[in-house]
Amino acid sequence: MKLRYIGKSCCPSKGVFAHRHSTWELVYTEKGSGRIAIDGVVYPFEENSIMLYPPQTTHQKTANTPFVDYYFLFSGCELQPDIYVFRDTQDGAILQLMKLMYRCYHETKQLSVCDSLGDAVMGLLAPVETDIDKNVRQLCHILTANFTDPDFKVADAMAQIPLNEDYLRRRFKQEMGRTPQSYLTHLRVENAKKLLSQSSGMLISEVAFHSGFYEPLYFSRVFRKYTGCAPQAWEPEAKEATPSADSKMRNGSEHADNPSK
């Protein structure tokens, strides 16, 4: 591999705006937890988790608790272009290598040493790889592509994947931390939050419809359950739902987004 840059969060961060790079990027979360959206698919992250994504992959990070990252950009990766999820070794060897790379790059300017350390990091990743199941990722993509359609149901998405529905549902929750229905509702509410934050004069009924809800009153109930406030009261600075409220959404009914389905 050929290192292009290595950096570190200057202070605990609450989020990173959507962006992409022309190179591969590896991100190590030293502290904090939250969600990272990568090309429309949402992955959880926590302390000692590692994400690896290929060039031109749009990603955005949102914190549950403020996070500190080490990250490096590089070329010459031999892996297939895909999203990879890892965890550090039990002795924290990958984090130590990342810190040493950071010092070599910014303090001693030993770039050839950085390349060697980067190779060592990549070598340690393979034994701890926990790539998200491809069927789960496919279901995520289908849900993301259709969540604005009020007629779309989780069953429509699951029917496109040649697996037993109960098994796929269990596998999805194991990988993503929430049921497929909860994930779909999450996408719809997050979209509503963006519309309410960015669009002036948009009626609540319009926000609901463009976020996959037919009934404004039911949309308002779901939105309040998820965020802790009514849609009319939502502001960009409004706080995310409390952990207990988010937990209810993650483990809620399979019919959370539409009372008639």
Quick one: tokens of 17? 């705006």
Task: Inform me whether the pLDDT recorded for 254 exceeds 60.
Answer: no
Judge contact between 215 and 150, C-beta under 8 A.
Answer: no
| In the chain, ranges of CATH 2.60.120.280 domains | 2-128
Amino acid in the structure at residue 208? A
Matching residue, tokens 């040649």: 162
Q: φ, ψ for residue 185 (rounded to 5)?
A: -65, -40
3-state secondary structure 7-24: EECCCCEEEEEEECCCCE
Q: How many CA atoms lie within 13 A of 231 on its CB side?
A: 27
Query: What radius of gyration do the chain's Cα atoms show?
Result: 20
**Tell me, what amino acid is at 67?**
F
Other CB atoms within a 10 A radius of the CB of residue 22 amount to 9
Contacts of 174 (CB under 8 A, 6+ apart): none
Q: How confident is the model at residue 256 (pLDDT cuts 50, 70, 90)?
A: very low
> Is the distance from CB of 147 to CB of 188 less than 8 angstroms?
yes
Residue 130: pLDDT band (50, 70, 90) is very low
Considering 10-14, 17-21, 171-175, 219-223, the range whose residues carry the highest mean pLDDT is 219-223
Task: Say if residue 239's pLDDT is above 50.
Answer: no
Residues 6+ apart with CB under 8 A from 21: 55, 56, 57, 73
The model scores a pTM over 0.75: no
85-102 tens-digit pLDDT? 888 877 788 898 999 999
Which two three-digit tokens encode residue 92? Answer: 């924290």
Topology of domain 134-250, CATH: Arc Repressor Mutant, subunit A (1.10.10)
Which numeric CATH code is attached to 2-128? 2.60.120.280
Q: Which residues pair with 72 in a beta bridge?
A: 6, 26
Greater confidence (28 vs 116) lies with 28
Please list the residue range(s) of the chain that carry CATH number 1.10.10.60.
134-250
pLDDT in tens, 157-187: 999 998 889 989 998 998 888 999 999 999 8
